[in-house]
Structure 1
């Protein structure tokens, strides 16, 4: 079968190659992949910046398709079902945090950027009928991360003011759509004029250019104060976010694309009773609740571009350049 693998000897660090299919083990299923989507972790793997990097591993965490075959111990009724793959492996029994055995599909175990993917049967969830395979493939990792940040940790409520930073990225666009569906007043920030325009069209109360030095003052004046912030950047602009929060506000962050925070305004945090919470991915419970929420609200992921596997280099380069607005999808 065709698959996109990590290849450190290739100029692009990628190889579209033929990979031998293996026999299913107990409890496993084989999914015929109809669409797969990229995440930043795929690009980090290509750069060698992810733990347990191995050449020859099939990349990709997000995938949707049709169950083609089931192994021993798996209900035959799964055959022919249209499914989404949950890429969170071995989360564990504790809803509060992942286990030490937790891993994400696509490194170090083979992922979804292939014509076929073999995964444990308990990673399957039925695809909502209102989603195409491309839209369904865009959902898993980013959709799950956004759902846990907004609902489990953020405890978003109807009518609250929510700020989504870095609008346009995968997790941010889901958090934005989820917050709107939950009845929040949603604000967004981006350094891209185009992305700010899209956020406005989608229903943002206001949008801000975080590259401007006084963006936090503008956001505070426009919103009157934010109750919940979902952030992926951290870094030395973290204190700007604290300035925007209402007393008792929550700041949930799922990444640190701007690096660690060198200085934190501790007085602001304790005096205003602020809550700061880190988060990543999500539990099996979060995933099932997320898919149900998407189904009930008929949410459709924003798709940036769809590439064939043969143009995988272009797809990865677009992810690297940060040009995407929504998810980048590949099809076999």
Structure 2
């Protein structure tokens, strides 16, 4: 089969389009012939050796959708020819609240979806939502699951609450917006791009601010007519310190990433005097993946697709993601 292989570190330029052996399913496993795959930020960090548990050579990619091509012994939940979407959470463990010590994400160290075929446990494939295209289905798994857990499970979002999502434009942030709007929240966003803020408004955001303004926090609070019940953050850095001010007393902040690095000069009294809940979140368990799919189908939410690249152009796709120019998910078209 054709696949994208990383054999040495050094950035997206090291991703090679190669011929590799087809995977064979073992007991309890299936092989899926992929129709489309999607990118996540972890794919870039893997290319520069800034992710735990990397073993080379490796085939990256956590997200994908396709048709079951082969099943191993003991598989009875899915048959050859089934149209499926893949849950990239591997070995979550028995505690739904937190992942166990064997937890992994599909795509390094386990070979992933930047390929024509991928082998996964049979329990990790779910029926593809019929209303979605192959590209839309492939865009869902990691980012939509992360957003769903952060908002619904950890964030305990309620209808009518005010939600703030900094850094709108990436895959997870866009899903956060769509889920929160569908759940009946008032959603506000921020970006350094007026164009991205405008697109967020078209998706149902109530308002947004450009963080290039020195007074963006005051502008945001004025548009909110107060403070946020819930902030969901993947930015970290200086932005996180501002979230402490933006969140109302007794409110919640959920963090699942830190693209701008460590948080400097955090004013601790603002956390404990305001009785804030600071909550960490990572990916999600199998039950949450199923709940996420049901939520998307109930509300007929369609993922926002930024751009699709042929599989052999995976390097260029990852570079676009890293540049931060996208709005929504970046896809890879898998050849027949």
Class of the TM-score when normalised by the shorter of the 2 chains:
over 0.9
Number of corresponding residues: 332
Cα distance change on mapping 1:74 and 1:199 into 2, 3 Å: same
CA contact under 8 A between 2:65 and 2:137: conserved in structure 1?
yes
1:189-204 correspondence to structure 2 within 5 Å: 189-204=190-205
Q: Which secondary structure state, in structure 2, belongs to the residue aligned with residue 187 of structure 1?
A: strand
1:54: how far off? Answer: 2.7
**Structure 1 ranges of 4+ moved more than 3 A:** none
Equivalent in the alignment of 2:230: 228
CA contact under 8 A between 1:6 and 1:54: conserved in structure 2?
no
1:285 to 284, 287, 291: 287
Cα RMSD after superposing both structures: 1.3
1:253-264 correspondence to structure 2 within 5 Å: 253-264=255-266
In structure 2, list runs of 5 or more residues that go unmatched: none
Whole-Å separation in 1 of the counterparts to 2:9 and 2:236: 34
Whole-Å separation in 2 of the counterparts to 1:77 and 1:16: 30
Whole-Å separation in 1 of the counterparts to 2:39 and 2:220: 31
1:306-317 correspondence to structure 2 within 5 Å: 306-317=308-319
Q: Which secondary structure state, in structure 2, belongs to the residue aligned with residue 78 of structure 1?
A: coil
Equivalent in the alignment of 1:49: 50
Equivalent in the alignment of 2:239: 237
1:149-188 correspondence to structure 2 within 5 Å: 149-188=150-189
Whole-Å separation in 1 of the counterparts to 2:13 and 2:281: 31
Equivalent in the alignment of 2:64: 63
CA distances 1:221-280 after superposition (whole Å, capped 9, x unpaired): 110211111110111232211111111111101001111123222211122111111111
CA distances 1:177-231 after superposition (whole Å, capped 9, x unpaired): 0000000011111111211110112221110112322111111111021111111
Cα distance change on mapping 1:144 and 1:77 into 2, 3 Å: closer
In structure 1, list runs of 5 or more residues that go unmatched: none
CA contact under 8 A between 1:70 and 1:76: conserved in structure 2?
no
Whole-Å separation in 1 of the counterparts to 2:252 and 2:246: 11
Cα distance change on mapping 1:125 and 1:167 into 2, 3 Å: same
Equivalent in the alignment of 2:325: 323
1:124: how far off? Answer: 0.6
1:76: how far off? Answer: 7.3
Whole-Å separation in 1 of the counterparts to 2:199 and 2:45: 27
Using structure 2 for the length normalisation, give the TM-score.
0.96
Cα distance change on mapping 1:26 and 1:303 into 2, 3 Å: same
CA distances 1:84-126 after superposition (whole Å, capped 9, x unpaired): 1000100011111100100001010100111011100010111
